[in-house]
């Protein structure tokens, strides 16, 4: 059985994890060759950036050699855990034997901080895309980016797209379409699609810098690396 492991740590954005988790769980329900787990350092409740808390199904020690590892993102707490060497080593260890290494939103910054994206094409939330380059990656402004075993998604809801793309990779287009139907993923936002040409990305730069400065106040080396 092939294990698809989602990484849980304090302060994540829930949809980063729950969106693709739902996709892969439906896929696994139809395909007994796969199982889906949520792995963390402990089995206690973890705060998120919403009032919801999340609990892992397994500890990292219980998930040996996953077939796929997927890392969700967040905001200030994610920036802080970029300095958590224990978590980064857990990610490196899981990725070492994995056939798929994925991320959602700023989860790719954790992959970068772990040294896994050197020279790789990758994406993240549009407001933090420039940070990927400072972590050795080749930043790409696309919703889902694939580079070898790596598959990274842009912000939050893009994790659903990433997971459907992954189902297509593992089992073909028809399987992905079936999962898409079962979760009724048919986006029709009430105000239409985002007009990216009107987004003033530079205007959000100071907000990202200030958030980094707060999160990494006790970690000047990482702060300098991301803001120099």
The rounded distance, in Å, linking the Cα atoms of 188 and 194 is 12
> Is 156 labeled as catalytic in the residue annotation?
no
Token pair recorded at residue 46: 């973890």
Among the listed residues 53, 52, 56, 109, the one whose alpha carbon sits nearest the alpha carbon of residue 78:
109
Cβ-proximal residues to 188 (8 Å cutoff; 6+ apart), any chain: none
Contact 60, 195 (CB under 8 A): no
CB atoms < 10 A from the CB of 51, how many?
Answer: 7
Name the DSSP letter for residue 114.
T
Q: Locate tokens 């898409």: which residue?
A: 180
In the chain, alpha helices (H): 14-30, 76-81, 85-96, 107-113, 129-134, 158-171, 173-182, 205-215, 220-227
* CB burial of residue 31 (10 Å; 0-12, 13-18, 19+): middle
Token pair recorded at residue 182: 């079962």
Q: Which of 94, 105, 131, 212 is catalytic?
A: 105
Q: Which residues are catalytic?
A: 105
């Amino acid at each position: 059985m092939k294990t698809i492991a989602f990484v849980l740590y304090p302060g994540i954005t829930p949809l980063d994890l729950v969106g693709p988790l739902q996709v892969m769980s439906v896929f696994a329900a139809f395909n007994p060759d796969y199982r889906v787990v949520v792995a963390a350092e402990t089995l206690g409740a973890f705060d998120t950036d919403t009032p919801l808390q999340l609990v892992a199904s397994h500890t990292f020690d219980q998930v040996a050699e996953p077939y796929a590892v997927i890392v969700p993102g967040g905001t200030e707490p994610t920036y802080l855990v970029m300095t958590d060497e224990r978590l980064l080593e857990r990610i490196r260890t899981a990725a070492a034997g994995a056939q798929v290494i994925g991320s959602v939103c700023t989860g790719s910054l954790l992959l970068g901080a772990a040294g896994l994206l050197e020279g790789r094409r990758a994406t993240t939330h549009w407001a933090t895309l420039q940070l990927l380059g400072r972590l050795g990656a080749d930043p790409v402004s696309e919703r889902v980016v694939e580079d070898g075993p790596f598959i990274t998604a842009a912000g939050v809801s893009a994790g659903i797209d990433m997971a459907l793309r992954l189902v297509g990779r593992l089992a073909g287009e028809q399987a992905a379409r079936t999962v898409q139907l079962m979760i009724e993923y048919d986006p029709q936002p009430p105000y239409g699609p985002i007009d990216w040409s009107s987004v003033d990305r530079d205007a959000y730069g100071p907000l990202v810098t200030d958030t980094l400065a707060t999160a990494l106040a006790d970690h000047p080396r990482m702060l300098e690396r991301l803001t120099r």
